Amino acid sequence: MNSIESTSAGEITQDAGKAGDAEDAGDLAPRAPRIAGVIGVTGALEAPEATGEAGDTGDSEDAGDVETPGWFPAVFLFGVVAFIFLFGGVWSWWPLLWAPLFVAAVGMATYEWRLVVRNRWRMPVEEWALFVIANAGCALSLAVVLGLLRL
């Protein structure tokens, strides 16, 4: 005889009755997915996860919740670095100003690259233009710092 009992802590216990009864043991497997909750690590009964089926009201992501790449901050910082190179200088005390900005711009560009790959290379045309400008700015900044290009 099969019975499902609920204890005061919210745990679900299942008694299979006779251990040697093969018919009851085989009958338990199809019933397991029908249980409304899942026993979590704490022993409390938790709600089942959303499956993404039609009519599901689970915590699925909306199209607006997905983070999309935005290359404008990286373009802006690379532009500021280029401005400093053009009107200030590359060496002497100027690295105290442009080095942190350059590192921040490279960090932002790296993060945006991760988002581009995560979104499977889907971006609006404007973002593609900013993508090209940001990466060209990074390459030009490196060329100026390494002495390959003089502004």
Q: Is the pLDDT of residue 7 over 80?
A: no
Q: Where are the alpha helices (DSSP H) in the chain?
A: 22-31, 72-87, 95-118, 125-146
Name beta bridge partners: 46. Answer: 38
Tokens of 24: 């009851």
pLDDT digits (tens, 9 = 90+) for 42-94: 555 555 555 554 444 444 445 556 777 788 899 999 999 999 998 888 888 88
Q: How confident is the model at residue 31 (pLDDT cuts 50, 70, 90)?
A: low
Q: Are 106 and 138 in contact (CB under 8 A)?
A: yes
pLDDT at 67: 77
pLDDT at 150: 82
Question: Tokens 């200088």 belong to which residue?
Answer: 89
pLDDT at 9: 52
pLDDT digits (tens, 9 = 90+) for 87-127: 888 888 888 989 999 999 999 999 999 998 998 888 889 98
The mean per-residue pLDDT over the stretch 21-33 comes to: 51
Q: Is 5 helix (H, G, I), strand (E, B) or coil?
A: strand
